[in-house]
Structure 1
Amino acid sequence: MREIDLKGKKALVTGGSQGIGSEICRELARCGADVLINYYSNKEKAEILAEEIKKEHKVKAVVAGANVADSAQVKDMFLLLDKELGGIDILVNNAGTETVEHVLDLEEDAWDKVMNINLKGPWLCSREAGRRMQGKGGVIINISSIHDVVPRKGLIHYCSAKAGLKMFSKCLSLELAEDNVRVVSIAPGAIETEMNREEINKFGRHKFEEWIPQGRVGVVQDVAPSVAFFASDLASYATGTDVYLDGSYMNHTIQYDPRPQK
């Protein structure tokens, strides 16, 4: 089996200091890529991760604080990328946020924040990356969610933003194909991170284990290798593609089982 080889590649991962993002940074570095780790508020976690990556994988790892929904901060982040890594081959739009609120109580500021980070941010970052990828190619991977097609109570703004990201990915793949830039949307299901572990346990881990056909909640290691694969030349014909990583969770809405009992 051919190994995923990203040696010499330069990657930027937004929201890379923790959760799925941090594991994506580790996996890209494991495959040989230099990595810029974007963070918004937790500089310490980003710096610890960068030192870990440099020590374990002998690649470059730098950090950049930026709100991905702010065009000026995004431009400054990419200028730092140019200086520290010398370009970009892989962009992973991973930064995201959500709140849980009844639609009738949802405030405009909360709507705007979720839309801006989950949808405007990928556009701003993809625009900067795409300009740098023109003439040489590259890969843009957008981390979406099964809720880009599966509605959920309390998350109308989040689901709407992720649905927009799904179509954004498809449109972007058409526009950038002529520049040999591939675009892939990767949509995880229920993935346990340090941020949601307490919530999963409080709600009832056994409930998820019953609902998810594979019988378990996903972990960040279920997502990161797929990102590395689609970022590599092994996936050179994959663009405009939606990939769902959910243990078949989203296919299990009908849980009544009429099969004869053995």
Structure 2
Amino acid sequence: MTDHTELAGRRVLVTGATHGIGRSIARAFAAAGATVVLHGRDADAGNRLALELSGSFVAADLEDPGAPARIVDAATEGGQLDVVVNNAGFEVEAAVDALVPEILTRLLRVNVQAPVEIIRLALPHLERSDGAAIVNVTSIHESVPVEANGGYAAAKAALAAFTRTAAIELGPRGVRINNLAPGAVRTSMNDHLIHQVGEERFARWIPLGRVGDVDDVAQAALFLAGPASRYVTGTTLTVDGGYSQHLVRYAPDPGTA
């Protein structure tokens, strides 16, 4: 259960916070006492959530090269920033012969380049914190392949590799950095797949017997950002109910097992 004072006095930036996993993460951090700065593209949803959480919101599209600087400027207003959660990202289904440069460039820009730039710009502020942490939300597909997912998987694998390297550099500077890799979780990005396969059938492939919820991921993010993980850096926490240990190929015919 969330300790409502666990992150009291901390200032947290959550990207991609207006929907799905990001929104749940923002709510969990606010419930733990943090001041939350939200980022997203949906200004209406972002401003409503900021009002709900007594936080603030900055609208920006991460395909815009200037977006990371605007986001970090908003997050560090007043000079303090303790935690960065790079949650924003997007997925495109494209087989190898359809992975044209335009698609790959967008995937790498949003899923790798933007979070790395946010980290770089936030570092001077994080280094002044006595509990600085960075959580990069990747995916089980950073290591588990699925057809027509090569571009997204490559981007998430790149961010995961960056995290491991950055941990070596940032540890001596007092900043922890880890990956959080969700599996099958109910979000708008995954709904089509879960509906196509069937949730009951999907659940049979997961050792814990159910499709994940966004709150499952949010609690894991809270752990990685908080004092309970003070000796954890440079690793990936997989939140998938054991799915990646028992992953099967999606059958094209729902009638086949």
> How does the TM-score come out when normalised to structure 2?
0.90
The Cα of 1:224 is off from its aligned counterpart by 0.4
2:12 partner amino acid = A
Distance 2:22 2:49 in 1: 11
Distance 2:71 2:83 in 1: 15
1:6 partner amino acid = L
| Aligned-partner SS, 2:85 | strand
Question: 1:50 matched to which residue of 2?
Answer: 50
- Structural mapping, 1:30-49, within 5 Å: 30-40=31-41, 42-49=42-49
Distance 2:23 2:218 in 1: 9
The Cα of 1:67 is off from its aligned counterpart by 2.6
Q: Please, which moves more after superposition, 205-214 or 154-163?
A: 205-214
The Cα of 1:254 is off from its aligned counterpart by 7.2
2:206 partner amino acid = I
Aligned-pair identity (%):
34
Distance 1:96 1:146 in 2: 14
| Aligned-partner SS, 2:241 | coil
1:50 partner amino acid = A
Deviations 1:196-228 (A, max 9, x none): 335422331122111111111100010101111
Question: 2:94 matched to which residue of 1?
Answer: 101
The Cα of 1:48 is off from its aligned counterpart by 1.3
The Cα of 1:2 is off from its aligned counterpart by 9.3
1:68 to 42, 58, 62: 62
Matched, 1:119 2:112: yes
Q: Residues 43 and 127 (structure 1 numbering): CA distance in 2 closer, same or farther, change over 3 Å?
A: same
| Aligned-partner SS, 1:244 | strand
The Cα of 1:68 is off from its aligned counterpart by 3.0
- 8 Å CA contact retained: 2:184, 2:190: no
Q: Residues 191 and 206 (structure 1 numbering): CA distance in 2 closer, same or farther, change over 3 Å?
A: same
> How does the TM-score come out when normalised to structure 1?
0.89
Q: Please, which moves more after superposition, 190-199 or 222-231?
A: 190-199
Question: 2:103 matched to which residue of 1?
Answer: 110
Matched, 1:232 2:232: no
| Aligned-partner SS, 1:191 | coil
Distance 1:195 1:146 in 2: 14
The answer for unaligned runs of 5 or more in structure 2 is 250-257
The answer for unaligned runs of 5 or more in structure 1 is 55-60, 256-262
Report the count of equivalent residues: 247
- 8 Å CA contact retained: 1:135, 1:179: no
The Cα of 1:241 is off from its aligned counterpart by 1.7
Deviations 1:49-100 (A, max 9, x none): 112212xxxxxx10001233544221122222222x5421000000010111
| Aligned-partner SS, 2:232 | coil
| Aligned-partner SS, 2:76 | helix
| Aligned-partner SS, 1:223 | helix
Matched, 1:11 2:9: no
1:20 partner amino acid = I
- 8 Å CA contact retained: 2:76, 2:125: no
2:124 partner amino acid = R
Question: 1:57 matched to which residue of 2?
Answer: none
Please provide the CA RMSD for this pair.
Answer: 1.9
Question: 1:24 matched to which residue of 2?
Answer: 25
